[in-house]
Structure 1
């Protein structure tokens, strides 16, 4: 398993993100690309958990009747074999080194930007999507299955933003469930990585990616981790990242429960 050095841990805690090289080798990349294709072409039934994160975009360059930013939630629920494969095993080991031995897999997902889809993922903080919890430790592992560049949608981060209060978020555009907040590339840093490498970021780290304006795919496999006790807490509130019950409903339930 990959080991995180003290200097890497310090960087992650200070900046709110961390690049880990070569979490997947060439054979493993090929395996995940094959599985990815089965998800995208519905050889694995994903319709319940599939959505277009780019549906907020209007009047952009992508005029074909297809998704701008394909999101498939809870990949390992749909294809449990993934839990026993290298990505999940290696990522869990790193999550424990970064945030503690009580880290566990909360959810996983696929986010793909098709060639020339040209739709940005808005600036946001993951924490804005989640219910309030007493322990906010969380981290996402963003694994590139293609070289991620500025032009095809690599990740951008605002360093240190995880140490500040969550910014005000609002729905992005008129459609879809994406949220956005005020931020810009001027305050961020682009992190280009090669296929097989990954980036970790805190749940409170501001991030964004440009649209894909290249001839190539930009496929990412994401796993998210938080304390096992907090995952149990989420589930008790009816929140499991599936979209079957939204955050607003869960918060309303919390308020009703607190009133007895």
Structure 2
């Protein structure tokens, strides 16, 4: 049973992000590491749902591997602890009508040193009448400054969506941001950082000899998911820039 104190809820509302430690046990993490490697090694085929967020041209090694909707590709994930517990967290923070919109895997390969640029997740999304949304970023490996942990600008979710542009060859979206304004969030495996749709964030590149694997689950109200789907939005990789607040 997940419990979030009123103090933590206020922090989330004011800062736009929240850390939850030990969401997954060491034994549970072993399961996710095994499944994650099956995706990276193409034992589980992700087809067109796989891309390199670094925007680099075709190369031998992906720098920032993004695999969209792993729960669709490997449905047993949906009943496992990461999805079940983050759904509970989303409902505690934003309401009982929250439901899974989409999930994804993002891995930073060793010695690639490719940052994920400053951005707001909402820049990828269509404008919706109900703005409630939360992303849950779960560390599958230890996340450090050196391998690409998350940085957040506290309070940035309270403003408008910044102008974004696309990086490189269909890479990630980017906007202005600075570490000087941000909080660095290092995590142990199995811990999680949760952020709102307009919270400005980024991560450095991976300069270490190990992978930096993360599983991300994203939630919004059921009615808004239905509205997205009616407009053909299913978060399978098509990128659109939304600059409306």
Check whether TM > 0.5.
Answer: yes
Q: Distance in 2 between matches of 1:23 and 1:64?
A: 35
Q: Name the structure 1 match of 2:223.
A: 229
Question: 1:218-257 counterparts in 2 under 5 A?
Answer: 218-243=212-237, 245-247=238-240
Cα shift readout 1:102-142 (whole Å, capped 9, x = no counterpart): 00000000000011110000000000000000001000000
The alignment status of 1:215 with 2:217, answered yes or no, reads: no
Give the aligned CA root-mean-square deviation in angstroms: 1.5
The answer to whether structure 1 residue 147 and structure 2 residue 142 are counterparts is: yes
| 1:206-227 superposed Cα distances (whole Å, 9 cap, x missing partner) | 0000000011110000000000
Q: Residue 11 of structure 1 corresponds to which residue in structure 2?
A: 11
Give 1 or 2 for the bigger CA radius of gyration. 1
The total of aligned residue pairs comes to: 242
Secondary structure (helix, strand or coil) at the match of 2:227 reads helix
The aligned counterpart of 1:20 is 20
Contact 1:54 1:119 in 2 (8 A): yes
Match of 1:52?
Answer: 52
CA apart distance, 1:246: 4.6
Distance in 2 of aligned mates of 1:56 and 1:182: 20
CA contact (8 A) 1:149 1:192 kept: yes
Give unmatched runs, 5+ long, in structure 2.
Answer: none
Task: Render the CA deviation track for 1:120-169: whole Å, top value 9, x for unaligned.
Answer: 00000000000000001000000001110000000000000000011111
Deviation of 1:56 after TM superposition, in Å, equals 4.7
1:29, 1:183 → 2: CA distance? 32
Partner of 1:186: 180
Distance 1:194 1:75, change over 3 A: same
Listed as ranges, the gaps of 5+ residues in structure 1 are 58-62, 252-260
Q: 2:2, 2:26 → 1: CA distance?
A: 16
* Deviation string, structure 1 residues 23-70 (Cα, Å, up to 9, x no partner): 10011000000000110011111122000001259xxxxx97210000
CA contact (8 A) 1:239 1:246 kept: no
Match 1:199 to one of 155, 171, 193: 193
Task: Return the TM-score normalized by structure 1.
Answer: 0.90
